[in-house]
A and B are shown apart, each in its own frame.
Chain A
Amino acid sequence: MQHTPESMSALRLVGDELADGTVATLFERGEVGRFNTLMRYFSAAGQEPPEGLPDVAHEYLRATAAPPDWVDWDEMERARLFFIDNNVHISTALAFSAMPACYVIPHVARLLSATHGLEYPSRRMAETGQFTVYLMRPDAFEAGSRFVPAVQKVRLLHASIRYHMRREGLWDEEALGTPICQEDMIGGLMIFSIQVLDALHRLGVHMSAEGAASYFYAWRVVGEMLGIGPGQAPADLEEARLFSDLYMTRYMGPSEEGARLTRQLIDLYEEVVPGTLLDPVVAALIRYLMGDTCADWLQVPRSAWDTAVRASPALLGVLETVEDRSPLGAWALDRLGHLTTHLELSSLTRGRVMQYAVPERLREEYGLTSTASRADRWVPPPPAFPS
Chain B
Amino acid sequence: MAHTGDGAEGERVSDPVLIAAGAADLVIEGVGTALRRAGSLLGRSDLAALARDGREELRRRGLLALRRHARATESHMELLARRAGARGSGRGDA
How many angstroms from the CA of A293 to the CA of B94 in the assembled complex? Answer: 18
Q: How far is the CB of A21 from chain B (nearest CB, A)?
A: 27
Q: How far is the CB of B16 from chain A (nearest CB, A)?
A: 9
Which residues of the partner chain A approach B77 to less than 8 Å between Cβ atoms? 97, 101, 104, 195, 198, 248, 289-291, 294
Query: Interface 1/0s, chain A 158-197, versus B by CB < 8 A?
Result: 0000000000000000010000000000000000000100
Q: How far is the CB of B43 from chain A (nearest CB, A)?
A: 38
Query: Which A-chain residue is minimally distant from B70 (CB atoms)?
Result: A310
Given A175-B91, A198-B77, A290-B77, are A252 and B66 neighbors across the interface (CB < 8 Å)?
no
Choose from A250, A291, A387 the contact partner of B94 (Cβ within 8 Å): A250
B49 is an interface residue with CB less than 8 A from chain A: no
**Could you tell me how many residues of chain B have their Cβ less than 8 Å away from some Cβ of chain A?**
30
Q: How far is the CB of B61 from chain A (nearest CB, A)?
A: 14
**Chain A interface: which size bin?**
35 or more
Given A252-B84, A304-B12, A306-B12, are A289 and B93 neighbors across the interface (CB < 8 Å)?
no
Which residues of the partner chain A approach B14 to less than 8 Å between Cβ atoms? 304
B37 is an interface residue with CB less than 8 A from chain A: no
Which residues of the partner chain B approach A252 to less than 8 Å between Cβ atoms? 80-81, 84, 89
Contact A308–B21 (Cβ < 8 Å): yes
Query: Which A-chain residue is minimally distant from B65 (CB atoms)?
Result: A311
How many angstroms from the CA of A380 to the CA of B77 in the assembled complex? Answer: 12
Which residues of the partner chain A approach B67 to less than 8 Å between Cβ atoms? 307
What residues make up the interface of A, taking CB atoms closer than 8 Å to B?
5, 8-9, 12, 97, 101, 104, 175, 195, 198, 202, 245-246, 248-253, 288-294, 297, 302-308, 310-311, 313-314, 380, 383, 385, 387
| 10 CB < 8 A contacts A-B | A8-B92, A202-B76, A249-B94, A250-B84, A250-B91, A253-B89, A293-B85, A297-B81, A307-B66, A307-B67
Interface hits, B27-83 → A, CB 8 Å = 66-67, 69-71, 74-83
Q: How far is the CB of B64 from chain A (nearest CB, A)?
A: 12
Which residues of the partner chain B approach A249 to less than 8 Å between Cβ atoms? 80, 83-84, 87, 94
Which residues of the partner chain A approach B75 to less than 8 Å between Cβ atoms? 198, 202, 288-291
Interface SS majority for chain A:
helix
How many angstroms from the CA of A8 to the CA of B13 in the assembled complex? Answer: 43
Given A249-B94, A253-B84, are A311 and B89 neighbors across the interface (CB < 8 Å)?
no
How many angstroms from the CA of A175 to the CA of B67 in the assembled complex? Answer: 45
Which residues of the partner chain A approach B94 to less than 8 Å between Cβ atoms? 5, 246, 249-250
Query: Which B-chain residue is minimally distant from A291 (CB atoms)?
Result: B78
Which residues of the partner chain A approach B92 to less than 8 Å between Cβ atoms? 5, 8-9, 12, 250-251
Contact A310–B71 (Cβ < 8 Å): yes
Which residues of the partner chain B approach A9 to less than 8 Å between Cβ atoms? 92
How many angstroms from the CA of A252 to the CA of B83 in the assembled complex? Answer: 10
Q: How far is the CB of A336 from chain B (nearest CB, A)?
A: 20
How many angstroms from the CA of A380 to the CA of B79 in the assembled complex? Answer: 14
Given A291-B79, A307-B70, 16 other A-B residues pairs in contact with their CB atoms under 8 A: A97-B77, A104-B81, A175-B91, A249-B80, A249-B87, A251-B89, A252-B81, A252-B89, A289-B77, A290-B75, A291-B1, A293-B82, A304-B14, A307-B66, A311-B21, A383-B83
Given A252-B84, A307-B12, are A293 and B89 neighbors across the interface (CB < 8 Å)?
no
How many angstroms from the CA of A12 to the CA of B92 in the assembled complex? Answer: 10
Given A292-B78, A310-B71, are A5 and B13 neighbors across the interface (CB < 8 Å)?
no
